């Protein structure tokens, strides 16, 4: 069995984010750190768990982006991927999901993957589109927001439990090959083992230049991005409990809430 896991490198949420002068993306200054998208960590871990459960499984990790993305792919090897593919796109800007999906689908089209896993969304744009778009391009059955999956004994189908709104779940059975987008909480991503860290240092990535024909047909563009509007600051009330109660009542009366 062959499993392809799509991973994305995203800015760390603790890094200071500065929007560029054109308000179309962020400035990649020296203080901003990049790491693997959290949801993709769960997708990778799920693929490794399948390999450990049934054996004879090859797990490939793939990512699209500039040279810095190699660090995230090395991390994929450390976490258990057998191979890592970097589709080089030297563009430090927003990349539409359809472009990413087309590039990955073009790579996977004739490589006979049994399963393709993606995270349910990316932390930076939260669009949830790349996985379903890859499935559409490859004409594969797709299930989204998976919180549990089980391969049948023959390996010809996979049963997946999908998270819906309001605490409702849906169980579907998909033939293999198929694509699943993995929700957080399905497993506990592991820390890299020392042996995998040493292997990742020596192992070469597979480098592929992004197809210029795909890049020449952008389906969308960013008009602008902005910081959230600053909300009004709260008022801190000091004093004893009785004094605080009196001050709170006065504020509520002042605002005609009581």
At 157-176, the pLDDT tens digits run 999 999 998 889 999 999 99
Phi-psi label, residue 104: left if phi above 0, alpha if psi -120 to 50, beta otherwise: alpha
Cα(230)–Cα(70) distance, integer angstroms: 36
> What pLDDT, in 10s, does the model give residues 13-40?
888 888 888 888 888 888 889 999 999 9
User: Cβ distance 144 to 128 under 8 Å?
Assistant: yes
> What pLDDT, in 10s, does the model give residues 106-139?
999 999 999 999 999 999 888 999 999 999 999 9
Cα(241)–Cα(258) distance, integer angstroms: 20
Cα(83)–Cα(107) distance, integer angstroms: 14
Average pLDDT over every residue of 82-95: 90
Residue predicted with more confidence, 252 or 158: 158
Whose structure tokens read 């970097």?
A: 86
Residue predicted with more confidence, 87 or 253: 87
User: Cβ distance 258 to 252 under 8 Å?
Assistant: yes
Domain boundary assignment for the chain: 2-215
CATH fold group of domain 2-215: Rossmann fold (3.40.50)
For the chain, the residue count is: 258
Q: Give the model's pLDDT for residue 189.
A: 96
> What pLDDT, in 10s, does the model give residues 187-244?
999 999 999 999 999 999 999 999 888 887 767 888 888 888 877 777 888 889 999 9
């Amino acid at each position: 069995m062959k499993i392809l896991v799509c991973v994305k490198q995203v800015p760390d949420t603790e890094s200071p984010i500065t929007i560029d002068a054109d308000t179309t993306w962020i400035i990649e200054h020296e203080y901003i750190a990049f790491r693997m998208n959290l949801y993709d960590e769960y997708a990778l871990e799920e693929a490794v768990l399948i390999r450990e459960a049934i054996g004879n499984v090859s797990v490939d990790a793939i990512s699209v982006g500039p040279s810095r993305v190699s660090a995230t792919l090395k991390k994929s090897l450390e976490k258990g991927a057998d191979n890592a593919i970097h589709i080089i796109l030297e563009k430090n800007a927003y990349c539409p999901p359809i472009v990413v999906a087309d590039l990955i689908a073009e790579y996977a089209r004739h490589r006979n993957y049994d399963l393709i896993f993606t995270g349910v969304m990316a932390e930076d744009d939260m669009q949830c589109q790349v996985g379903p778009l890859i499935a559409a391009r490859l004409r594969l059955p797709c299930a989204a927001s998976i919180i549990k999956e089980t391969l049948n004994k023959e390996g010809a189908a996979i049963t997946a439990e999908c998270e819906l709104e309001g605490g409702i779940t849906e169980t579907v059975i998909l033939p293999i090959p198929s694509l699943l987008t993995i929700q957080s909480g399905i497993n506990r991503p592991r820390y890299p083992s020392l042996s995998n860290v040493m292997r990742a240092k020596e192992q070469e990535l597979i480098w592929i230049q992004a197809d210029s024909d795909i890049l020449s047909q952008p389906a969308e563009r960013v008009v602008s991005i902005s910081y959230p509007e600053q909300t009004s600051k709260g008022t801190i009330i000091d004093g004893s409990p009785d004094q605080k109660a009196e001050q709170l009542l006065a504020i509520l009366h002042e605002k005609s809430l009581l």
